[in-house]
């Protein structure tokens, strides 16, 4: 405000009071403001003086910085002083020209600030004094630019290791906000597995990673490489976890082919031998053909046989009196009876519950009973047929329970448990193989970039259904830990990757917290800590921009946050631990000749 803050505040107060009908003049408001400032100067003389000094520098910084650059800017544009643009001009300037223009800027700004600081009636005197001082400082500043800048940077942290120190400080700060010690953070990284990073351990480390990934430069590239490549491999890691828990072979299709080949190899010779035999129908067998379902099954069997090039005889022969008599010659052939059995199988399987394996409905249950009676009667007459079916049914049962396992996700946990309890060990093995195949299918069907964990483990119902398939709690708990780790890593990617969120939001997140030196200086000034305030302000002026991460700092943070090398993470944590006990986090403190400090520097080095 060029030292016109009391006049400006008094004018605003008087104007507002006039609008509200309060009897309060400008002079009265000004007297109150001046009394308040005088009281503050008396109570806090150092802070008041520093405030004036910092305020004065703040006015001149934009113009001076531009004068010293390759293009001069107009103080008139920034401070509303007409004509300064024409005096300063634009374009590249020599040192002499910079000094001349700096003198002009300093005289104008100093004169205005001097007038504002002077008492009424002595404005001209104040303007002359302030202008003269500003002219000298403005002219000297460009001439001393290089030496002054080098000197200040030595103290404000623009040395090569500044990015490393500040990056380390920010990571440790994020861990503290997540209420994690360095050792606890490292333990979390280990629990996440080979892909875990420091960025995954807490909400605040994710926010820090998000700020890093949102800034252009090498840090963004590192973040993208780690987060996106890790996401691309999520499905592969989940499939390995499923196979490890449920199907060590990992080859459902191969198992099906092997079972079918084994079934055919073992059963075909026995079926050929049985089909070559003729049997003498027993009374029990003949009695079964009085049931209506047999006639229906026979019609289906004839169609199947004809499609395979076989012609089945008539099952019943019509008598002269119009009645029917069973053609016992038709049922002497074992192959014909096998066609009949297949027809009854079709009726039963159409009405079998796909989850529990139970037959649904009274009628289908009666047909299943008839089928069992038929097989018992034929087995008694043809031991070779019984042996052939046994050779066929072993692999067939395995294939059946494999398919049943593929449907596990449709059933309830309790039902699946009861089904598995009734199975033999071999049947449970094949059931889990089918369940693993179904789970792998869900993983592979997840859209690119989406979270496959949610597809298989993202609700309590899904977890219950999976738990019913697992052989024991230990195996399931290990699988659960893998799923939780993958979910944590996906959260990091969704939060931090530029490809998963808004680029604008990514750039804005955490920026003020990361490099808000000017804001920290203002808070220090309010506390009367003028030393800290001056250093913070100078750092913002001569150090890196306070509006974004520097490329060096971004890369330094990215290398530490996104590494999944356990050795590097271990050494970083050691360095953090040393820093916590020493009370500060700087390379000289961490050094102490230790391997941990050397690795720490390597991990953070640009």
Q: How far is CA 279 from the centre of its chain?
A: 70
Residue range 129-143: mean pLDDT, rounded: 67
Asked if residue 134 lies in contact with residue 108, where contact means CB atoms within 8 angstroms, the answer is yes
Residue (of 308, 313, 345, 305) closest to 331 by Cα position: 313
pLDDT higher than threshold 70 for residue 149: no
DSSP count for the chain of H helices, then E strands: 32, 2
What CA–CA distance (Å, rounded) separates 513 from 528?
22
What CA–CA distance (Å, rounded) separates 202 from 223?
17
What CA–CA distance (Å, rounded) separates 544 from 71?
19
Which residues are CB-contacts of 228 (< 8 A; sequence separation ≥ 6)? 493, 497, 499
What CA–CA distance (Å, rounded) separates 601 from 590?
9
CA distances from 521 to 264, 472, 525, 530, 543 (A): 84, 60, 6, 8, 14
Asked if residue 174 lies in contact with residue 463, where contact means CB atoms within 8 angstroms, the answer is no
pLDDT higher than threshold 50 for residue 547: no
What CA–CA distance (Å, rounded) separates 81 from 74?
9
The tens digit of pLDDT for each residue in 62-75 reads: 444 444 443 333 33
pLDDT of residue 16: 75
Which residues are CB-contacts of 478 (< 8 A; sequence separation ≥ 6)? 245
pLDDT of residue 154: 47
3-class SS of residue 325: strand
pLDDT of residue 564: 86
Residue range 316-335: mean pLDDT, rounded: 85
What CA–CA distance (Å, rounded) separates 125 from 121?
9
CA distances from 226 to 188, 260, 270, 273, 426 (A): 18, 44, 60, 64, 42
CA angle, 449 then 450 then 456, to 5°: 140
Least confident of 156-160, 286-290, 330-334, 475-479: 156-160
pLDDT of residue 520: 55
Angle formed by the axes of helices 383-406 and 362-381, nearest 10° = 140
pTM of model > 0.85: no
Least confident of 151-165, 266-280, 352-366, 521-535: 151-165
pLDDT higher than threshold 50 for residue 546: no
Residue range 125-150: mean pLDDT, rounded: 64
Phi then psi for 359, rounded to 5 degrees?
-85, 130
Residue range 224-233: mean pLDDT, rounded: 94
pLDDT band with cut points at 50, 70 and 90 for residue 571: confident
Structure tokens at 88: 């300063």
The tens digit of pLDDT for each residue in 241-285 reads: 999 999 988 888 888 888 888 888 888 899 999 999 889 999 999
pLDDT of residue 132: 76
pLDDT of residue 203: 94
Please name the residue that has the structure tokens 């490393």. 164
pLDDT of residue 481: 95
27 vs 421, residue with greater confidence: 421
* Helix H or strand E encompassing 324: strand 324-326
pLDDT of residue 248: 84
CA distances from 110 to 76, 86, 113, 116 (A): 14, 19, 5, 10
The tens digit of pLDDT for each residue in 572-600 reads: 777 776 655 544 444 333 333 334 444 44
Q: Of 81-95, 167-181, 528-542, where does the model show the most confidence? A: 167-181
Q: Quick one: the chain helix, strand, coil %, rounded to 5?
A: 75, 0, 25
Beta bridge partners of residue 325, listed in sequence order = 317
Least confident of 138-152, 362-376, 396-410, 586-600: 586-600
Report DSSP state, residue 389: H
Residue range 129-150: mean pLDDT, rounded: 63
Asked if residue 333 lies in contact with residue 278, where contact means CB atoms within 8 angstroms, the answer is yes
Structure tokens at 223: 């973040």
pLDDT of residue 60: 47
Least confident of 200-204, 327-331, 542-546: 542-546
3-class SS of residue 359: strand
Residue range 279-297: mean pLDDT, rounded: 90
What CA–CA distance (Å, rounded) separates 75 from 64?
9
Residue 485 burial by Cβ neighbours in a 10 Å radius (0-12, 13-18, 19+): buried
109 vs 249, residue with greater confidence: 249
Average confidence score pLDDT of the chain: 76
What CA–CA distance (Å, rounded) separates 343 from 302?
9
């Amino acid at each position: 405000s060029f030292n016109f803050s009391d006049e400006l505040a008094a004018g605003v107060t008087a104007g507002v009071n006039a609008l509200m009908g309060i009897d309060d003049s400008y002079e009265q408001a000004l007297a109150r403001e001046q009394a308040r400032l005088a009281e503050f100067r008396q109570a806090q003389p150092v802070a008041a003086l520093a405030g004036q000094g910092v305020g004065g520098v703040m006015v001149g910084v934009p113009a001076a910085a531009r004068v010293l650059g390759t293009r001069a800017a107009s103080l008139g544009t920034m401070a509303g002083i007409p004509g300064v643009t024409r005096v300063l001009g634009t374009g590249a300037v020599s040192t002499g020209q910079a000094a001349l223009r700096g003198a002009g800027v300093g005289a104008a700004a100093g004169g205005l600030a001097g007038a504002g600081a002077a008492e009424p009636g002595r404005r001209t005197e104040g303007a002359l004094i302030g202008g003269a001082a500003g002219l000298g400082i403005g002219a000297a500043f460009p001439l001393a630019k290089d030496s002054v800048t080098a000197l200040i940077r030595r103290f404000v942290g623009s040395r090569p290791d500044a990015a490393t120190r500040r990056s380390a400080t920010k990571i440790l700060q994020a861990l503290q906000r997540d209420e994690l010690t360095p050792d606890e953070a490292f333990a979390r990284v280990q629990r996440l597995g080979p892909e875990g990073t420091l960025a995954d351990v807490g909400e605040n480390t994710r926010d820090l990673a998000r700020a890093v990934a949102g800034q252009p430069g090498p840090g963004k590239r590192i973040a993208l490489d780690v987060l996106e490549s890790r996401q691309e491999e999520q499905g592969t890691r989940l499939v390995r976890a499923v196979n490890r828990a449920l199907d060590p072979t990992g080859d459902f299709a191969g198992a099906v082919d092997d079972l079918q080949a084994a079934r055919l190899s073992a059963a075909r010779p026995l079926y050929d031998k049985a089909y070559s035999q003729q049997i003498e129908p027993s009374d029990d067998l003949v009695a079964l053909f009085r049931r209506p379902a047999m006639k229906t099954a026979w019609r289906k069997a004839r169609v199947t046989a004809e499609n395979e090039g076989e012609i089945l005889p008539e099952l019943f022969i019509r008598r002269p009196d119009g009645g029917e008599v069973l053609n016992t010659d038709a049922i002497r052939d074992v192959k014909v009876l096998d066609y009949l059995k297949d027809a009854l199988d079709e009726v039963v399987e159409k009405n079998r519950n796909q989850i529990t394996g139970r037959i649904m409905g009274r009628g289908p249950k009666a047909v299943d009973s008839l089928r069992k009676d038929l097989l018992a009667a034929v087995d008694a007459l043809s031991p070779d047929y019984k042996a052939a079916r046994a050779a066929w049914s072993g692999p067939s049962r395995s294939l059946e329970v494999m398919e049943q396992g593929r449907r596990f996700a449709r059933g309830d946990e309790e039902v699946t448990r009861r089904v598995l309890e009734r199975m033999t060990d071999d049947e449970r093995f094949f059931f889990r193989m089918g369940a693993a195949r179904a789970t792998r299918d869900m993983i592979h069907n997840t859209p690119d970039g989406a979270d496959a964990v949610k597809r298989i483990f993202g609700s309590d119902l899904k977890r219950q259904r999976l738990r019913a398939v697992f052989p024991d709690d230990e195996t399931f708990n290990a699988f659960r830990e893998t799923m939780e780790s993958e979910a944590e890593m996906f959260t990091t990617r969704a939060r931090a990757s530029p490809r998963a969120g808004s680029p604008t939001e990514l750039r804005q997140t955490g920026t003020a917290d990361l490099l808000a030196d000017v804001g920290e200086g203002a808070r220090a000034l309010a506390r009367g800590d003028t030393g800290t305030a001056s250093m913070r302000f100078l750092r913002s002026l001569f150090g890196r921009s306070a509006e974004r991460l520097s490329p060096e700092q971004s890369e330094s943070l990215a290398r530490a946050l996104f590494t999944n090398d356990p050795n590097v993470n271990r050494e970083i944590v050691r360095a953090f631990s040393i820093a916590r006990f020493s009370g500060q986090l700087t390379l000289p403190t961490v050094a102490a000749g230790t391997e941990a400090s050397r690795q720490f520097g390597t991990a953070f080095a640009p």
